[in-house]
Amino acid sequence: MTPETTGTTPAGSTAVGSTEQHIETTERYAAHNYHPLPVVIASGEGAWVTDVEGKRYLDCLAGYSALNFGHSHPQLVERARQQLGTLTLTSRAFFNDQLGPFSQVLAELTGKDMVLPMNSGAEAVETALKVSRRWGYEVKNVPEDQANIIVMEGNFHGRTTTIISFSDDKVAHDNYGPYTPGFRTVRYGDIDSVRAAMDDFTVAVLFEPIQGEGGVVVPPEGFLRDLRDLCSEQNVLMVADEIQSGLARTGTTFACDLEEVVPDMYILGKALGGGLYPVSAVAANTDVLGVITPGSHGSTFGGNPLAAAIGHEVCRLLATGEYQDRARRLGERLLAGLEPLVGKGLDEVRVRGLWAGLDVTPGGPTGRELCERLMERGILAKDTHGMTIRLAPPLVITEDEVDQIVAAVTESLSA
């Protein structure tokens, strides 16, 4: 074990009890909607976390990209601390002094006229669906209750009843019916499939520029540009779920930037809260978001002063371009290290910025087993769909830490 992956529990840690005790208590009293690796994290700083036994790990999941800026980023923590002692919640029944400045910088970051803040990513997706349908009825003049929205195979947009209605993941979907109608599923990355599904009542195409939960699945080159052209031609909203792929993860501010495409609506979350607080939003121009009127949509906590203050600070970090550049440069290093493993335990490696999907060769370890081997080597990662693991370290990692990831994957495949 390298010095970076060992240590003691930091001073001030509130962790009490062994790993086994914490796992036993959690399994006893918390619903079993996750299957975590057997590690109990007590603290984090930068790209590293420390468990209750004092062992350190390089966090290569980063809260599904919610922690793009690392754990306990000092600038974000200080801004949150300031706001915590000033004002945290008013509800949108009143104005507050943080929402306006946050909305302005986020609108400027996205290049859109306005934003609608929410809390979780799923709430932002639900907001985008509602806005799309209302726009369809009030602007496109689709007949009442006839609007349809096109979605992609392999999608993951959250776990509300409406969202899982158009999921083809049986674990997320099955036994939650009756399901919400009005969605048409097409092949991801296939523009002809999208075109064939469109009709006069189609109001939006909802898509992930890169499918994160699917295993960092990248569409064919040119698909996003073709989709942009088709949506413009057919007067259909192009709605990009950038909750995981956005905010510097792929080496650009948004994954759509990789093909120089601007959607009609961005859906944002995860990293927008800096890993400190749930913050999400949709961003669009007035001709789209203007359909929302007082009382037609809302949230008790959406746009609260604490969320707005943190989100504002996140936008400031992104405005420097530093994190986009780091993701691009270090992603190139990660790809160079992982590509030689194709044919040596991996069937395929997909990397965009500091985001990687590794397909494990059948006959070797499963995705879960590979993650367990990585954990033994001080690396925390997550499997998906059985034989794929995802790597998404915080964008604050160093070149040496990228090399540690590559070395651990190499050793784990040959163990």
Catalytic annotation, residues: 156, 241, 270
> For residue 20, how many other CB atoms are within 10 A of its CB?
11
Contact 197, 204 (CB under 8 A): no
Q: Can you give the C-alpha Rg of the chain in angstroms?
A: 21
Distances in Å between the Cα of 47 and the Cα atoms of 72, 168, 235, 375 are 10, 33, 43, 15
| CA–CA gap between residue 185 and residue 176 (Å, rounded) | 18
User: Parallel, antiparallel, or unpaired for β 148-152 and 183-186?
Assistant: parallel
| CA–CA gap between residue 359 and residue 389 (Å, rounded) | 7
User: Parallel, antiparallel, or unpaired for β 183-186 and 356-360?
Assistant: unpaired
Contact 205, 150 (CB under 8 A): yes
| CA–CA gap between residue 64 and residue 406 (Å, rounded) | 19
Sheet holding 41-45, edge to edge: 41-45, 48-51, 56-59, 379-380
Task: Say which residues have a Cβ less than 8 Å from residue 146's Cβ, sequence separation at least 6.
Answer: 201
Tokens standing for residue 46: 């930068």
Which residue blocks in 290-381 are alpha helix, DSSP H? 305-319, 322-338, 367-376
Task: Say which residues have a Cβ less than 8 Å from residue 31's Cβ, sequence separation at least 6.
Answer: none
Phi/psi of residue 164, nearest 5 degrees: -70, -10
Task: Say which residues have a Cβ less than 8 Å from residue 324's Cβ, sequence separation at least 6.
Answer: 248, 251, 252, 253, 318
| CA–CA gap between residue 106 and residue 329 (Å, rounded) | 25
Task: Say which residues have a Cβ less than 8 Å from residue 193's Cβ, sequence separation at least 6.
Answer: 186, 187
